[in-house]
């Protein structure tokens, strides 16, 4: 029995254990929740991430899905490829194509093939936007490693190098994905709160107000992106103007809340 088999078995065990943890952690409404009711979506992400080769992160905008998908456990010098899918994106854009070089044509790997061959992380943002052409290619690179085998127009046939993993993000409902695509992500974590480090990176005097407003429903919500921009702009143009530029009609309320908090 070769080392390869043992490695595959070990990976299978780790993935199965992670899948089990995800299933156990899901409560009503698909919200990650441990039996003690304490685990957050980001705690769940952190425990599953090292063991999962294909992970789907879904939830509202600005919670930190892309940031964590790219930077979590990112070793110095490690390559990560990141693509954002659009409805018009072609398979060739992801896979690669022929390009003219001097007097001939040479094959040029696209970002997905670079990650596939290189055995590194591929982040696919807005995966639900894939049109038919890109979708067929995504289904191929997301196949289980045992069956994944890609024949390229260059004539090469490529298998995913060990270490290849995919983290995909979307704002919508993963159940609205085409069934074959959804099936390729046994791990799907609903990200329903802003990553604590994103809030922690704000200036201290904004953190309480930001924490309270990033989670508000609908139009009352103030996103972490807005808070970050306010923090940056106020350094340049002062708090009043920065608040008007970022918070619009709510600037007065936001500034009052900040003053109240500072007065305490």
Ligand X SMILES: Nc1ncnc2c1ncn2[C@@H]1O[C@H](COP(=O)(O)OP(=O)(O)OP(=O)(O)O)[C@@H](O)[C@H]1O
Please give the residue ranges that form the binding site for Mg ion (CB under 5 A): 66
**In this chain, which residue has its C-beta nearest to Mg ion?**
66
Residue 239, CB-side half-sphere exposure with 13 Å CA sphere:
10
Q: What span, in angstroms and rounded, lies between the C-alpha atoms of 111 and 82?
A: 7
* Binds ligand X by CB under 6 A, chosen from 9, 201, 237, 260: 201
Position 232 contacts ligand X (CB under 6 A): no
Position 168 contacts ligand X (CB under 6 A): no
List of residues 6+ apart from 17 with CB closer than 8 A: 51
* Binds ligand X by CB under 6 A, chosen from 83, 195, 214, 234: 195
Mapped to the 3 state alphabet, what secondary structure does 63-81 carry?
A: CCHHHHHHHCCCCCCCCEE
**Per-residue CA distances from 16 to 47, 48, 245 (Å):** 13, 11, 49
* Binds ligand X by CB under 6 A, chosen from 65, 95, 121, 184: 65
Position 197 contacts ligand X (CB under 6 A): yes
Min separation Cβ 170 and ligand X, Å: 8
Q: What span, in angstroms and rounded, lies between the C-alpha atoms of 145 and 158?
A: 11
List of residues 6+ apart from 164 with CB closer than 8 A: 53, 115, 116, 118, 119, 120, 122, 145
Instruction: State which residue, 84 or 162, has the beta carbon closest to Mg ion.
Output: 84
Position 193 contacts ligand X (CB under 6 A): no
Position 260 contacts ligand X (CB under 6 A): no
* Binds ligand X by CB under 6 A, chosen from 21, 54, 121, 228: 228
CB 165 within 8 A of CB 70: no
Instruction: State which residue, 154 or 193, has the beta carbon closest to ligand X.
Output: 193
Interface with ligand X by CB under 6 A: which residues? 61-68, 169, 171, 195, 197-198, 201, 224-225, 228
């Amino acid at each position: 029995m070769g080392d390869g088999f043992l490695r595959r078995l070990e990976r299978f065990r780790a993935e199965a254990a992670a899948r089990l943890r995800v299933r156990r952690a899901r409560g009503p409404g698909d919200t990650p929740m441990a039996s003690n009711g304490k685990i957050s979506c980001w705690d769940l992400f952190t425990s599953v991430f090292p063991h999962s080769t294909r992970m789907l992160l879904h939830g509202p905008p600005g919670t930190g899905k892309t940031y964590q998908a790219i930077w979590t456990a990112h070793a110095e010098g490690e390559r990560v490829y990141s693509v954002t899918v659009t409805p018009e994106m072609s398979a060739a854009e992801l896979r690669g194509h022929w390009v003219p070089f001097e007097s001939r044509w040479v094959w040029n790997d696209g970002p997905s093939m670079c990650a596939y061959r290189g055995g590194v992380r591929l982040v696919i943002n807005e995966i639900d936007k894939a049109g038919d052409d890109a979708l067929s290619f995504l289904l191929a690179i997301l196949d289980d490693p045992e069956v994944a085998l890609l024949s390229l127009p260059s004539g090469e046939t490529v298998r995913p190098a060990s270490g290849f993993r995919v983290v995909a993000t979307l704002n919508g409902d993963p159940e609205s994905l085409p069934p074959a695509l959804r099936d390729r992500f046994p791990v799907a974590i609903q990200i329903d709160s802003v990553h604590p480090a994103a809030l922690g990176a704000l200036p201290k005097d904004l953190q309480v107000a930001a924490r309270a407003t990033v989670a508000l429903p609908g139009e009352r919500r103030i996103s972490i992106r807005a808070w970050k921009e306010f923090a940056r702009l106020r350094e340049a143009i002062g708090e009043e103007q920065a608040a008007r530029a970022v918070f619009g009609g709510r600037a007065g309320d936001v500034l009052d809340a900040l003053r109240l908090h500072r007065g305490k």
